[in-house]
Amino acid sequence: MPAREYNISMNTPKRILVTGSAGRIGRAAVAELVARGHHVVGFDVLPTPGLPVEQSLVAGLLDVDALHRAATGADAIIHLAASPDDARFPRGAAPDDSDNFVSDLVPNNVIGPYQVMEAARKLKIPRVILASTGQVIDGHLVAKNVPVTPDSPPRPRYLYACTKVFLEALGQVYSKEHGIEVLAVRLGWCPRPGQEEEFRQSELGPDVYLSPGDAGRFFAATVEVAKLPPFSVVYATSLHVRVRQYDLTSTSKLLGWEPRDQWPTGSAQ
DSSP codes of every residue in 83-145: ----TTSPTTS---GGGTIIIIIHIIIIIHHHHHHHHHHHTT--EEEEEEEGGGGHHHHHTT-
Flag whether pLDDT at 154 surpasses 50: yes
Flag whether pLDDT at 217 surpasses 70: yes
Q: At how many degrees (to 10) do helices 24-35 and 212-224 cross?
A: 50
pLDDT band at 195 (very low <50, low <70, confident <90, very high): confident
Q: At how many degrees (to 10) do helices 112-122 and 159-178 cross?
A: 10
Whole-number Å distance between alpha carbons of 132 and 123: 23
Mean pLDDT over 46-52 rounds to 98
Which of helix, strand or coil describes residue 262?
strand
Whole-number Å distance between alpha carbons of 69 and 17: 10
How many Cα atoms occupy the beta-carbon half-sphere of 160 within 13 Å?
A: 18
Q: Which of 106, 126, 113 is nearest to 170 (CA)?
A: 113
Domains of the chain: 15-255 (3.40.50.720)
Amino acid at 220: A
Mean pLDDT over 223-228 rounds to 97
pLDDT score, position 11: 65
DSSP state of 16: E
pLDDT score, position 97: 43
Better pLDDT: 186 or 139:
186
Amino acid at 126: P
pLDDT score, position 86: 56
43-47, 190-194, 223-227, 250-254: range with lowest mean pLDDT: 190-194
Whole-number Å distance between alpha carbons of 30 and 59: 17
Q: Which of 250, 180, 179, 257 is nearest to 224 (CA)?
A: 257
H or E element that contains 249: helix 249-255
Flag whether pLDDT at 116 surpasses 90: yes
